[in-house]
Structure 1
């Protein structure tokens, strides 16, 4: 029991002293990250190319660079590619790679990773460090407010204000 009370006292101190990241109480931390999503043409920050024959999509610029090293392409195709001797990259891809290839406009959006919820910012940072392989290089802690969640608010308030020493004294 004393170990549990000590844990609660340490948690209480951490809750009271940690950075709030501009969030109102009650607050908790999640994992924030970014992902590329399909967008309207006018909002595109990049393009990916979808190749139906292999059911794969690749970032267009990276794909074209990788193709320059592809020894299986015809000499004519490689010459056109290396000299940028085409008006539209999708036309070149449709001519030499997959006639049904499509360009997909994309934009980067911020997301809150599902199944992440931490009482302390430090715990969220630790989770990120231990699980970097699941996230992008832009992963970060993300503070959130448990808006209109009276039970969460009451619980966190109790954790932050309860006199845990009173339990030790009464034993």
Structure 2
């Protein structure tokens, strides 16, 4: 029981003194990150190429560089690739001609996401989770503060944790 009370006292202090990242109470932290999603052509920040022959998708620029460096294709074919430069239509036609006739260009944009199944009472715990589990996240993963809006039980619980007078228990135990 003493260890539990000590834990609650330390949690109370942390809740009262941590950075709130501009969020109202009650607040909690999650893991924010970024991922690439399919987008309309006019919103594309990059392109990926889907190769149905091997059922794989690659970032187009990286894929083209890999072909240039590690390819077993003829010098003439690689020279043709070199001449394409940044024309995506020409690049996909080249891929269809020499790699996979069913290849498709996929326009993508980067969006912010909140990772599912992440909820922490303290920012420090969220940071620690990201560090210990970085293999599950991108290099852009970060703590993300959220407000438990219209959650009266969460609000009451966090208010109790932040304001409880621990000396009142000590007084009760002495009686």
Question: Normalised by the size of structure 2, how large is the TM-score?
Answer: 0.93
Where has structure 1 moved over 2 Å in runs of 4 or more? Answer: 82-87, 168-171
Residue number among 120, 132, 139 corresponding to 1:137 in the alignment: 139
Question: What is the rounded CA distance, in whole Å, between the counterparts of 2:98 and 2:76 in structure 1?
Answer: 10
Aligned mate of 2:169, from 141, 150, 167: 167
What number of residue pairs does the alignment pair up? 171
TM-score by length of 1: 0.95
Is the partner of 2:84 in helix, strand or coil? coil
- Counterparts of 1:62-101 in structure 2, within 5 Å, are 62-84=62-84, 88-101=90-103
* Higher helix proportion (structure 1 or 2): 2
| Contact 2:29–2:121 (CA under 8 A) maintained in structure 1 | yes
| Gaps in structure 2 of 5+ consecutive residues | none
Write the distance in 1 (CA, Å) between the matches of 2:171 and 2:130. Answer: 38
Q: CA deviation at 1:88?
A: 1.0
Aligned to 2:36: 36
Structure 1: stretches of 5+ with no match in the other structure: none
| 1:49 match | 49
Q: Is the 8 A contact 2:34 2:110 kept in 1?
A: yes
- Secondary structure, counterpart of 2:30 in structure 1: strand
Shift of 1:72: 2.1
Give the secondary-structure state (helix, strand or coil) at the position aligned to 1:115.
Answer: coil
Q: CA RMSD in A?
A: 1.4
**In 2: Cα distance, 1:114 partner to 1:165 partner:** 38
Pairwise CA distance, 1:82: 2.6
